[in-house]
Amino acid sequence: MQPPASEQILFQGSDFADWASLNDTIMGGRSSAGCRVTPDGLVLEGELVETGGGFVSCRSPRLQPPLDLSPYSALQLVVEGEGRILKIALGCRDGAMGLTELIPGGLRWVVDVPTQPSGVTPVVVPFADLRPTVRAKPVGLPLRFDPSGITRIQVLHSKFGDAGDLNPGFRAGSIRVLIRSIRALP
């Protein structure tokens, strides 16, 4: 029997260097936000426009090889989120020769997480809480999340929540979210 895994820092400080923004402009929206690394972590900042889309995000590069987080049960993000409800989205290999990557927008495993209005919020994302979605719409197929093949991590603020409904914590206008670290938890 293996001893339980200890937590593992996945991203912190300069580990975020290759992260990039992905905003609703890919769908015809008008939001504009960018990601930049600071000594405190990864900052997502810009202007969020609800009309025509309504989301801004930062995402990791495609992780090659995929992260094997099978010894862990959750992620922990330490964020300063302005009291917004953020969406955490994970891409993972699907065991079907990558067919989900052919779906426009790809299959993502998501969950909504609330943040405090000021200061730091440690957000825990149990893998058991992740739901499969494609472009903010729940997928009704009997799929199982596979933590052994994480290919991408994304942090969004979107007009839509993880169940496809409107996000009650959505706020258009200026946005500044600081992601201090992302860890895998046992």
Q: What angle do CA 10, 12, 16 make, to 5 degrees?
A: 90
pLDDT at 104 over 60: no
pLDDT at 95 over 70: no
Please tell me the distance from the alpha carbon of residue 32 to that of residue 10, in angstroms, as a whole number. 27
Arithmetic mean of pLDDT over the chain: 88
pTM for the model stands at: 0.88
Token pair recorded at residue 172: 């258009």
Would 93 be classed as within a structural domain? yes
Would 37 be classed as within a structural domain? yes
Given a contact cutoff of 8 angstroms between Cβ atoms, the answer to whether 78 and 122 are in contact is yes
- Number of structural domains (the chain) is 1
Would 2 be classed as within a structural domain? no
pLDDT at 11 over 80: yes
pLDDT band for position 169 (cuts 50, 70, 90): confident
Q: Which residue matches tokens 């997480």? A: 113
Q: Count other Cβ atoms within 10 Å, centred on residue 156.
A: 24
For residues 64 and 94, the model is more confident at 64
Q: Which residue matches tokens 């405190």? A: 40
Do you find a cis peptide bond into 66, omega within 30 degrees of 0? Answer: no
Q: How many residues does the chain have?
A: 186
Would 1 be classed as within a structural domain? no
Indicate the helix (H) or strand (E) that contains 101. Answer: none
Would 3 be classed as within a structural domain? no
Would 63 be classed as within a structural domain? yes
Given a contact cutoff of 8 angstroms between Cβ atoms, the answer to whether 11 and 150 are in contact is no
- Listed residue (51, 121, 131, 54) closest to 88, CA to CA: 131
Would 128 be classed as within a structural domain? yes
Q: What is the pLDDT of residues 31-84, one digit of tens each?
A: 999 999 999 999 999 999 988 788 999 999 999 999 999 999 999 999 999 999
Q: Can you give the CATH number for the domain in which 22 is found?
A: 2.60.120.260
Find the domain containing 99 and state its range.
Answer: 8-185
Range among 2-16, 39-53, 64-78, 98-112 with highest mean pLDDT value: 64-78
Please tell me the distance from the alpha carbon of residue 170 to that of residue 79, in angstroms, as a whole number. 17
Q: What is the DSSP letter of 166?
A: B
Would 124 be classed as within a structural domain? yes
Half-sphere exposure of 108 (CA within 13 A, CB side): 23
